[in-house]
Amino acid sequence: MTTILADVAATDTSAAEAFCDRWKKAWNDHDGDAVAALCADGLVYDEPALGQTAHGPDSIRGFVNHMAKMFPDYSFTRLGLYGEVTRRAALVAWRFSGTLAGTDHRVEFHGDDRLELGEDGLITEYRCLYDYKSVLDRIAAAPAPASA
């Protein structure tokens, strides 16, 4: 099942849609193992907003788990899917929505995932792009928890 894009160009929209549906479902299920299973052992995970590049599926698994703790009800809505015509790569535009843990404060923002796939159809390079300052501003806007 993970080889769905292995022998087709990203211009095969049904293959790209199917792969990105699994990617979105794994994230929306808050399933770090399922997200990691879509990634190659040599994954390069780059999140410029956080100022770090991590390697391997464990790095993305850990981030999914961290997100689930920060935003227990988070979800992603896919806004667009753009395929690369010369290599196995796609850009997935999304909207994030989640309630900051311990508050009623909703945080929403837009971002893009750039996914490059290897011959086996697993993600070899994942770059997550969004406006980190805007996200921090939205988190900071959360009202202070009420005193007990």
Specify the pLDDT at position 11: 55
pLDDT digits (tens, 9 = 90+) for 40-86: 999 999 988 888 899 999 999 999 999 999 999 999 999 999 887 77
The better pLDDT of the pair 94, 144 is held by: 94
CA distance 85 to 90: 9
Structure tokens at 145: 């928890």
Half-sphere exposure of 95 (CA within 13 A, CB side): 7
Q: 38-42, 113-117, 134-138, 144-148: which range is least confident on average?
A: 144-148
- Average per-residue pLDDT in the chain? 87
Q: What is the pTM of this model?
A: 0.85
Distance of CA 32 to CAs 15, 25, 66, 111, 119, Å?
Answer: 22, 11, 9, 19, 23
User: In this predicted model, what pLDDT tens digit does every residue of 3-28 receive, in sequence order?
Assistant: 444 444 455 678 888 889 999 999 99
**What percentage of the chain exceeds 70 in pLDDT?**
89
